[in-house]
Chain A
Amino acid sequence: QKEVEQNSGPLSVPEGAIASLNCTYSDRGSQSFFWYRQYSGKSPELIMSIYSNGDKEDGRFTAQLNKASQYVSLLIRDSQPSDSATYLCAVIQGAQKLVFGQGTRLTINP
């Protein structure tokens, strides 16, 4: 079982709709969770971090965490073509190691 799992996609969403990205993790002791966005040929850019169960909203982005189910998700409202990218879920394991999922490729169709 991979430590952090994501559906690799591609996920296609029409412009203006809600994009939903999902991630599961194996280490039940994990406490810190991150979503990064990576455009082709570029390095990852931090979108959100989440540490507590429930929802955390920042603009059009909402991160959701359910530690009992070992599940973290990212919702993007009012999707824009500029949101087209690969979204990486990452989880802190151990003292400081950031473990990434394989990423979900998202395409927003105008």
Chain B
Amino acid sequence: GAVVSQHPSRVICKSGTSVKIECRSLDFQATTMFWYRQFPKKSLMLMATSNEGSKATYEQGVEKDKFLINHASLTLSTLTVTSAHPEDSSFYICSARGGGGSADTQYFGPGTRLTVL
């Protein structure tokens, strides 16, 4: 139980294009999903917290107009990187909460590696 999927696993795009990443909880309903990014040899950095049916809460320094988050259902959240630039290249990881462990346990998706040329 508590499986979280992400799609795509890897994406390469040209500078200026937009990229959408999907995060799904496969066997549980996730009231809250989280989006992180991770640079090489660094720890995870929380970008935003997404609650189903409401606007995402962004961490300080994260541009909400650049990183659009939609949490339309209890099993799906999407992150859209708009007008991507090379500095947006990173490993993006989502997590979901509500999967059978304690109420605050987060289960992570496999991640999406974004490369912007």
B53 at the interface (CB under 8 A from A): no
Contact, CB under 8 Å: A51 / B49: no
A25 at the interface (CB under 8 A from B): no
Note all chain B residues with C-beta closer than 8 A to A36.
108
Q: A43-B109, A49-B102, A51-B102 are known contacts. Are A97 and B49 too (CB-CB below 8 A)?
A: yes
A-B contact count (CB 8 A): 45
User: Which of A11-19, A55-63, A75-83, A99-107 binds B?
Assistant: A99-107
Give the most central of B32, B42, B102, B106: most A CB within 10 Å.
B106
Note all chain A residues with C-beta closer than 8 A to B104.
32, 92, 96
Residue pairs across A and B with Cβ atoms less than 8 A apart, 16 shown, are A34-B106, A43-B109, A43-B110, A43-B111, A44-B108, A45-B108, A46-B101, A46-B108, A49-B102, A92-B104, A97-B49, A98-B46, A100-B43, A101-B43, A102-B42, A102-B43
